[in-house]
Structure 1
Amino acid sequence: MAEVIAQNPSQEVPRSTSWQMPDTLILIFFVGVFAVLLTYLIPVGNFASEQVAYVVDGVEKVRTVIDPDSFAYATDDAGQEIYKSVGLFATGSEPGLMNFAFAGLSSGSAVSVIMFMLVIGGAFGVVMRTGTIDNGILRLIEKTKGSEALFIPVLFFLFSLGGAVFGMGEEAVAFAIIIVPLMVRLGYDGITTVMVTYVATQIGFGTSWMNPFSVAIAQGIAGVPVLSGMTFRVVMWFGFTLIGILFTMMYAAKIKKDPESSYSRRSDAYFRNQALNMVDSRWNIGDTLVLLTVAATMVWVVWGVIVHAWYIGEIASQFFTMGLVAGVIAVTFRLNDMTLNDVASAFKEGAGVMLAPALLVGFAKGVLLMLGGGNTGDASVLNSILNSAGGLISGLPGAASAWLMYVFQSGFNFFVTSGSGQAVLTMPLLAPLSDIAGVTRQVSVLAFQLGDGFTNLIVPTSASLMATLGVCRIDWRDWAKFVWRFMVLLFVLASFVVVGAHLIGFA
C-alpha cells in the first residue's frame, strides 16, 4: 500500500493533529533567543594570543593560540564589567536577533561553506541527470543479488578509515549522492546511507590516531609528541568502528524486514519513485566515460586533501569540473537526450536541493556571531564561557575533570565544528588546566578529539552533516529522532574511554 502512495505524490494525505517536532529553523531561532539572553547575563572578555611551535613528520609548524592565563573581562572607564547585550535589531556592526540570519548567511566563513554546498549539489545534479548512476546501480543490484549486506560493513569501514587517516568529512557528501539511490533500491533507506558515509567518517575522525586536522594539531598545541599514543587510539578506532558497523547493520536489517519503520520513509519516496520510473538499464561508452569522470574526481579530491591539504574552495572547483565534463559527455553521447540547456537546468536543480541545509548553516553561524564570534582577541560572551568552563574543570578531582573536559568539548562543538578551529581555541586552555587537575595532557587531547568528532553527528551547525542530509533528502528532525540513541551509546562509551584512559595514566 505504501508503494502505491509513493507513486501518487499528488494524493492528499490527512495532516496529523498531534504535536510535531518544530522545524529545524525554528529550533535554531530559539537557540538564538537563548544566546541573546546569555549576552544580558554574562560579561564579555578576551584572551591574548601567543605563538606555539610543534613538529609533524619532522616539519616544524607554528599556530597562533590563546594564552590561557591572559583572560580578562572587558571594563569601562569606571572599572565596571561590560555587557554586549544583543537587541532586536542590528546596531552598527553588531547583529541583532531579527537580523542574525542575514548576518550569518552573509558572513565570510558561512558564504564559502554555502557556496561549496551549492556547487557540489549542482555538479552532482548534472551527473545524476545523465542517468549513468541510476543505470549503473541497476546493473550492480542485478549482479550482486544475495550479497547486498556486504555493502554496509565494507563501506562503513572504508569511510571510517578515511576519516581517521585524512580527516574525511565534506567528501562524504559527494559519495552519499551516489550511494543513497543504491541503498533505497536494495531495500534499505536514506538514513542507512548517512550512517555508512558521513557518520562513519566522524567515527574515524573522532577516534583517529593520525588525523592531521585534529589530533596532530591538538597534540602539538598541548606539548604532547605528535602522533604519540597511537596504539591506544588504533584499538579505540577499531572498537568504535565495529560498534558503528553493528549498530548500522541492525538498523538496516530492521528496515529490510519492515520498511515502514524507517525514519526516512517519507523522504525516501523520491528515490523509490526513481526506481519505479526506470524501465531498462542502458549502458554505452558515454556512461562509461561519466563513471570514469566521477571516479577520477574522487581520487583527485583525496589526493589533493592528503598531499596539498586542499579545503572546500579547491574541492568545490574539482567537483565543478566533474559536473562540466559530465555535461559535455552527456551532450556529446546524447545521454537521456540531454542538451546544453538540460545541463544548466540539472545544475540548478541539484543546487536547489542544497538550499535548505545551506540556510541552516547560515542561521547557525548567526547564533555564533551574536555570542561574539570565534575571535579570542575580541571581547565576547563566548570567550567568557570558555574561561568559566576551564575554571570549573580545574577545581575537580582528576577523573571528574577528564570527563568534564569531554563533556565541554562536546558542547563547545555546537559553536565551533571545525576540528582545527576548536583545537586552537580550547587546547591552550585545557592543556595547562589538565596539569592542575592531575590529568595527563594526552587524556585532554583524547577528550578533545572524542568530543569534537562525535557531536558532529547531530549538531545542525555542522555543514557536512546538513549537506549529507540534504542530498539524501532527510529532514534534520527525522535524523535527530533516529540518531539520538546512537549518540547516547557513543557518549556513554566515550565517557568510559576517557575516564579509563585517566585511570591507567594514558600519557
Structure 2
Amino acid sequence: MSQTHVESQSVTTENKTWQMPDTLILIFVVGILASILTYFVPAGHFDTQQVSYIADGVEKTRTVIDPMSFSYATDENGDLQYNKVGLFASGGGIGLMNFPFEGLVSGSKWGSAIGVIMFMLVIGGAFGVVMRTGTIDNGILRLIDKTKGSESLFIPVLFFLFSLGGAVFGMGEEAVAFAIIIAPLMVRLGYDGITTVMVTYVATQIGFATSWMNPFSVAIAQGIAGVPVLSGMQMRMVMWVAFTLIGIAFTMMYASRIKANPELSHSYGSDAHFRQQDIGNQDSRWNLGDTLVILTVFATTVWVVWGVVAHAWYIPEIASQFFTMGFVAGIIGVVFRLNGMTVNDIAASFKEGAGVMLAPALLVGCAKGVLLILGGGSTDEVSVLNSILNSAGGVISGLPEAGAAWLMYVFQSIFNFFVTSGSGQAALTMPLLAPLADIAGVTRQVAVLAFQLGDGFTNIIVPTSASLMATLGVCRIDWGNWAKFCWRFILLLFTLSSIVVVSAHLLGFS
C-alpha cells in the first residue's frame, strides 16, 4: 500500500510537471499577442468583388476578396495607420479585457458568433435528451448480444455504428464507456484491446472527421466560414462511407492477424487482465419506446437534409428541427418510462446536454473576440487582420492552388495537437483560414474540408486528446504501444485525406 501511495505521488508529480494549456487559455494568450500585434503591424484593407457560380443548376453570386486590391491605410500626414488596442474600450469598442464579451455578443442569429453559439446550445440540449433515454446505449449493448460468436459481423457492424455516431452527433467521449464493456469480449473472441479501441474510439473519429452534418465540427466551421450550414453533404456522405469502409477493412485485417497469433499484438501483455476475467451476461433493454426514439432521430436527420437541400434551411431552421427531435424523444421516454424518465428529466437532460456545449460555445465567442481585436473580419474595413492575411496570402498564393489547399490540411493536422476540441479549433482557425482561402484561390468549402479532416484524424494519435487517453486507459494500453500500432493507419489516412483535399479543389468543391 505504501508503494502504491509512492507511485501515485510520483505520477501526480509527473502530471503536474507539464499540462497542455486549456483552449480558453490559448485563446486568451492569442488575444494578448493579437493586441500587441496591433502596435507593430499597420492596418490595411481590401476591396471586394462579386463572383458568380452555379450551384444545383442555379446561378448564385458571392462577395469575395479582390486579392490584388490590398493597400495600407494612412493618416492625413501620409503615415501608416495603426489600430492600437488597449486594455479597455468604451462605447462598444474592443479592448483586451472586454474582447470575450464583445465576441460573445457579436453577429446575429444567422451566423458567428451569437447564432452559432445558440445553435450549439440547442443542439447539445436536444441530443442530451436523446442520450438520457438510454436508447443509444442499449442499442449498442443489444448489438453486442446479437453478434456474440459472429466475429465476421461483430467488428464491421460495431465500427459502422460508432462511425455513424461520430458523424451524426459528434460521438467521442461516449466511446470510453462502451470500451469498458467491449474490451473483455474482444479478448475472449481472440482479438485484443487495440481492436477494441479501433471499433470504438477510432471509429467515432473516422465519422467525426468525414461527417456531413456533425453540429460540433463541420456545422460550426461552416457557420464561421460563412458557408451554408450542412452544404456539400452529398460529397461528404460519399467520403464518410469510403473512409468508414477503409477503417473497417484495416481493422478486420489486423484483427484476423491477431486472432491467428495473439502474441503479435502490441497489447498482448496488458490483455492478460481481460483474459483472466469472466464475461457475464449483458442484458440490454429494447422495446417499442427505443424503436420510436431511433426512428425519431432518423426521421429528423432525413427531414433536416431535405430542408437544407430543398429550402436552403440555415441555422435557425435547423436548430428548431433538432429541438423538436429532443422534445419528441423526451415525451417518448416519459411515456415508455425509458430509464425511468420523468417530465423533469427532460428538462434536466436538456440543460445537461446544453451545459456540455457551454465550454465550446465560450470558445467560439472568445475566438470571435480575438478576430475583433484584429479588425472584426470585415475585409473592406481598415484592420490589422487584412494586413496579416495579405502577408500570409503572399506566401500561400505563391504556391499552386492545390498546394495551398493541401497546406491548409497540413496546418489543421498539426494545430490539432494543441487544440483537440473540434469546436475550439474551428473557432481559432476558421476566421483566419476562410478569407485566406479567398486569397489563395481555394473555395471556403475546401477550407472547411481541410479543417474537418485535419481536426478529426489526428485525434486518433495525439496524446493531448483526453478521449483517446481515456479509451486507451480503460483498455489498459500504453500510448507508446498504441503509437507503434497506429502510425501506419495514420499515414494511410493522411495520404488519402491529402488526395481528397487536393481532388476537391481541382473539382471545384463549393
> CA deviation digits over 1:93-127, x for unaligned, max 9?
33222222222222221222222222122222222
Structure 1 residues 408-456: Cα deviation after superposition (integer angstroms, max 9, x where no partner): 676599677898x88973455334xxxxxxxxx8xx9998576444344
User: Cα distance, 1:203 vs. partner?
Assistant: 13
Query: Is the contact made by 1:183 and 1:193 (CA closer than 8 Å) also made in structure 2?
Result: no
CA distance change for structure 1 residues 68 and 56 in 2, over 3 Å: closer, same or farther?
same
- 301 and 66 in structure 1: CA distance in 2 versus 1, 3 angstrom threshold: same
Contact 2:125 2:352 in 1 (8 A): yes
Q: What are the ranges of 5 or more consecutive residues in structure 1 without an aligned counterpart?
A: 1-12, 161-168, 205-211, 219-225, 261-274, 432-440, 461-468
Could you tell me which residue of structure 1 aligns to residue 462 of structure 2?
none
Shift of the 251–152 alpha-carbon distance from structure 1 to 2, 3 Å rule, reads farther
Indicate the SS of the match to 1:140: helix
Root-mean-square deviation (CA, aligned residues, Å) is 5.0
2:77 pairs with 1:98: no
Matched, 1:186 2:182: yes
> In 2 relative to 1, CA 213–49 (structure 1 residues): closer, same or farther, beyond 3 Å?
same
Which of 439, 445, 448 is equivalent to 1:429? 439
CA separation in 2, counterparts of 1:245 and 1:388?
Answer: 43
Q: Give matches, 1:8-47, under 5 Å.
A: 16-18=12-14, 19=17, 20-47=19-46
Q: CA deviation at 1:317?
A: 1.2
Unaligned runs of 5+ residues in structure 2 are 1-7, 184-195, 215-221, 259-264, 272-278, 416-424, 460-464, 474-478
For the residue of structure 2 that corresponds to 1:114, the secondary structure is: helix
Q: Deviations over 1:252-294 (max 9, x none)?
A: 998986889xxxxxxxxxxxxxx99x97533332222222212
Alignment size in residue pairs: 421
Given the superposition, is the C-alpha separation of residues 21 and 106 from structure 1 closer, same or farther in structure 2, using an over 3 Å criterion? Answer: same
Shift in CA distance, 151/451, structure 1 to aligned 2, threshold 3 Å = same
SS at match of 2:360: helix
Q: Deviations over 1:308-337 (max 9, x none)?
A: 332332222111111111222222233333
Task: State the 1:62 CA deviation.
Answer: 1.0
Does the 8 Å CA contact 1:148/1:186 hold for their aligned counterparts? no
Look up the match of 2:69: 70
Q: Distance in 1 between matches of 2:266 and 2:321?
A: 35
Q: Paired residue for 1:267?
A: none
Alignment match, 2:297: 294
Q: Distance in 1 between matches of 2:126 and 2:434?
A: 33
Provide the rounded CA distance (Å) in 2 between the counterparts of 1:239 and 1:48: 41
* Matches of 1:380 and 1:292, distance apart in 2: 50
TM-score, normalising length: structure 1: 0.66
Q: Say if 2:150 is the partner of 1:150.
A: no
Measure how far apart 1:50 and its partner are: 1.6
* Shift in alpha-carbon separation, 1:473–1:157, aligned structure 2, 3 A: closer
Partner of 1:52, secondary structure, is strand
Q: Secondary structure at the match of 1:375?
A: coil
Query: Of 93, 112, 115, which aligns to 1:112?
Result: 115
After superposition, where does 1:395-474 map in structure 2 within 5 Å?
403-404=403-404, 406-407=406-407, 425-426=435-436, 428-431=438-441, 451-457=450-456
SS at match of 1:69: coil
Q: Secondary structure at the match of 2:388?
A: helix
CA contact (8 A) 2:141 2:282 kept: no
Aligned to 1:391: 394
Taking the aligned partners of 2:331 and 2:165, their CA distance within structure 1 comes to 30
Aligned 8 A contact 1:122 1:351 in 2: yes
1:228-307 maps to which residues of 2 (within 5 A)?
280-307=283-310
CA shift for structure 1 position 142: 0.4
* 8 Å Cα contact 2:172/2:205 also seen in 1: no
Matched, 1:196 2:206: yes
Mean Cα deviation higher: 297-306 or 43-52: 297-306
Distance 1:184 1:43 in 2: 55
- Give the distance between the partners of 1:93 and 1:73, measured in 2 at CA: 25
1:195 to 1:380, Cα distance in 2 relative to 1, 3 A: same
Query: Partner of 1:381 in structure 2?
Result: 384
Q: Secondary structure at the match of 1:40?
A: coil
* Shift, 1:56, TM fit: 2.6
Structure 1 residue 54: deviation in Å? 1.6
The corresponding residue for 1:263 is: none
Structure 1's 380 and 247: CA in aligned 2 closer, same or farther, altered over 3 A?
Answer: farther
| Counterpart in the other structure of 1:336 | 339
Q: 2 CA distance for matches of 1:88 and 1:251?
A: 56
Corresponding residue of 1:438: none
SS at match of 2:304: helix
2:131 paired with 1:128? yes
Aligned to 1:434: none
Q: 1:392 to 1:380 in 2, by over 3 A?
A: same
Alpha-carbon distance in structure 2 between the residues aligned to 1:236 and 1:336: 36
- The alignment partner of 2:355 has SS state of helix
What is the CA distance between 1:297 and its match in structure 2?
A: 1.5
Relative distance call for 1:132 and 1:287 in structure 2 (3 A) is same
Following superposition, the deviation at residue 16 of structure 1 comes to: 1.6
Tell me: CA distance 1:501–1:281, structure 2 relative to 1, closer, same or farther (3 Å): closer
> Which amino acid in structure 2 is aligned with residue 403 of structure 1?
G
Secondary structure class of the residue paired with 1:16: helix
Deviation per CA, 1:44-80: give whole Å up to 9, x if none. Answer: 1111122111223432111111222221111111111
Structure 1 counterpart of 2:343, one-letter code: L
Partner residue in 2 for 1:80: 79
Tell me the equivalent position of 1:8: none
Q: Deviations over 1:11-45 (max 9, x none)?
A: xx757222222222222222222222222221111
For residues 326 and 444 of structure 2, what CA distance do their matches in structure 1 show? Answer: 40
CA contact (8 A) 1:156 1:245 kept: no
Match of 1:359 in 2: 362
* Counterpart residue number, 1:320: 323
**Equivalents in 1 of 2:469, 2:204: separation in Å?**
9
Whether contact under 8 Å (2:27, 2:428) holds in the other structure is no
AA of the residue aligned to 1:194: T
SS of 1:100's equivalent? Answer: helix
C-alpha separation in 2, matches of 1:251 and 1:78? 70
TM-score, L = length of structure 2: 0.65
Q: Which amino acid aligns with 2:205?
A: M
Superposed CA offset, 1:77-98 (max 9, x none):
1111111122222344332222
Q: Which of residues 135, 138, 143 is equivalent to 1:140?
A: 143
Moved more, 61-70 or 188-197: 188-197
What SS does the corresponding residue of 2:113 show, helix, strand or coil? Answer: helix
The change in CA–CA distance for 1:424 and 1:258 in structure 2 (over 3 A counts) is same
> Matches of 1:52 and 1:279 in 2, distance apart?
59
Residues 166-185 of structure 1 correspond to what in structure 2 (within 5 A)? Answer: 171-173=168-170, 182=178, 185=181
Distance 1:375 1:295 in 2: 39
Q: Would you say the 8 A contact 2:145–2:282 is kept in 1?
A: no
